[in-house]
Amino acid sequence: MIFVCDFDPFGEAKYRYSFQNICKEVPDIQLPDGRQIIYLSTCGKNLAEVPEKLVKFLAFVKADLKESQNNFADSYVQKLQEFIVDVKKSREMEARFMILEEMLRDERNAGKTEGVKYTLLETINAYGEIPSELQEKIEKETDLEILKSWFQTALRAGSVEAFEEAIQSR
């Protein structure tokens, strides 16, 4: 198990603290499972005791957002940087596609609403002249389900007056 810490968990200024399952009473006896626990610290000072690649990796981990884009002269860190850029790009693209999808859905719904309004007004107009108050009420309505219901009512109404009366009673 490996823990990467941006602090020194044991206060000894080490980049790496490695632990194995050994017997406290007889240190030569180790559990045969091979388990280790490693704590990596970005606050180490013991450069000579650990691989240079580990120090570069931990410097990358410790870096703030701006510093994390610096050249750490390490192929593994460079791969991590490229991976982070790709993830950010895909997140940005995903967000853009979601916004586009939402805009298209809104536009489709607006188009449906306008289409139902137009058809409703044309249907009522076939019965006679539409009073301006009624036309304004229909044009202000934004709920597609209400407009569909009114359209069904208009088909059965037979007259402008009957339609107005039917939607007033709801």
Query: Quick one: pLDDT at residue 43?
Result: 93
Shared domain for 102 and 51, answered yes or no, is no
pLDDT exceeds cutoff 80 at 27 = yes
Shared domain check, 150 and 98: yes
The pLDDT confidence band at residue 170, using thresholds 50, 70 and 90, is low
Those residues with Cβ within 8 angstroms of residue 5's Cβ, 6 or more apart along the chain or in another chain: 39, 40, 41, 42, 43
Q: pTM here?
A: 0.48
Are 49 and 113 part of one and the same domain?
no
Domain that holds residue 64: 2-73
Q: What pLDDT is attached to residue 78? A: 84
pLDDT of res. 162: 95
Cβ proximity of 68 and 81 under 8 Å: yes
